[in-house]
Structure 1
Amino acid sequence: MLPTPSSPPTTLVNTAARVLARINDRRLRPLGLAFGQVPVLAALGQGGPLSQKELARLARIEQPSMAQLLARMERDGLVERAPDPNDRRVSLISLTAEGQAKLPLAHSALLGTNNRALDGFSPEEVDVLHGLLGRFLANLDAELADQR
């Protein structure tokens, strides 16, 4: 569905998310990254090592999709796996030196998209938008939790 002035907010958010993903993919491509990898890089950069299950939960994607994403990231030298010392059935994923080195570059590229998207917004408008989208996402997360 193409957005119109009377489109529901969910349509506008969905369209914005798809456009942001395309723009961010374009900005990240020269770094050898894809936008879908950013939640994994960010989570591991902040608190790694983490299990595949934890990463899937944080990135809000299904386990099979996370497995495919991690396989590609491992192939590309961004992440590595090690056995969990507390549970031999589980692997812990962490960033490689290459993955760690790309974090600030990815952050800078994404900040450029953020700045462009918010061009012309006042600081107050950005605060309001941030608050509203936070509530919007919390409602959707509650919907996901209800379905478990």
Structure 2
Amino acid sequence: MPDADEPNLLILLNDVARLLRTLADRRARAHGMTRAQWMTLLRLRRGGGMTQRELAEILEVEPITVGRLVDRLTARGMVERRADPADRRVWRLHLTPATAPVLAEIEQVRIAFDAMATAGLTPERRGAVTEALLLMKSNLLAASAEAA
């Protein structure tokens, strides 16, 4: 049993993630957007042409929530819905060129957060932390797949 005075790894991971989300919320608000909108843009950059349902699954929110996010981003000229050539009932989401400066800003924020969060870590230690987190993620994905 772990010593009660020792830091709990899972609590620390949660705390770090919460702090990053809080900082990202502030930065996004400073640009007149929300963290959820930023995440939507990032996910669409990785996998443009996905449906709202697919995006909702990735973002772990309800499709109606993604619909509202996409409506706001469409109104800003950053996202467009295009008809699926194989199924007229389906709309595919695509980024517009207007998104480029926002994505560049998000990348700058990501670089700054990375530097802030890893300040004082040697490259070797950073590599070890990354390796450990990737293994933890793999373990959890495997457990999730087994449970499904």
C-alpha separation between the residues in 1 aligned to 2:5 and 2:74? 43
Please give the TM-score of this superposition, normalised by the length of structure 1: 0.80
Q: Which has the larger radius of gyration?
A: 2
Aligned equivalent of 1:41: 41
Q: Which has the higher strand share?
A: 1
> Structure 1 segments of 4 or more deviating over 4 A?
none
Deviation at 1:44, TM superposition (A): 2.1
Please give the TM-score of this superposition, normalised by the length of structure 2: 0.80
Structure 1: 5+ residue runs without aligned partners?
Answer: none
Alignment length (residue pairs): 145
Partner deviation per Cα, 1:95-123 (whole Å, 9 max, x = no partner): 12222331111110121111101000001
| Paired residues of 1:118 and 1:126 also in contact (CA < 8 A) | yes
Deviation at 1:71, TM superposition (A): 3.1
Identity %: 30
Deviation at 1:61, TM superposition (A): 4.1
Aligned equivalent of 1:63: 63
Structure 2: 5+ residue runs without aligned partners?
Answer: none
1:96 aligns with 2:130: no
C-alpha separation between the residues in 1 aligned to 2:74 and 2:147? 31
- Is the deviation greater in 69-78 or in 48-57? 69-78
> Which has the bigger relative contact order, CA under 8 A and spacing at least 6?
1
Deviation at 1:87, TM superposition (A): 1.3
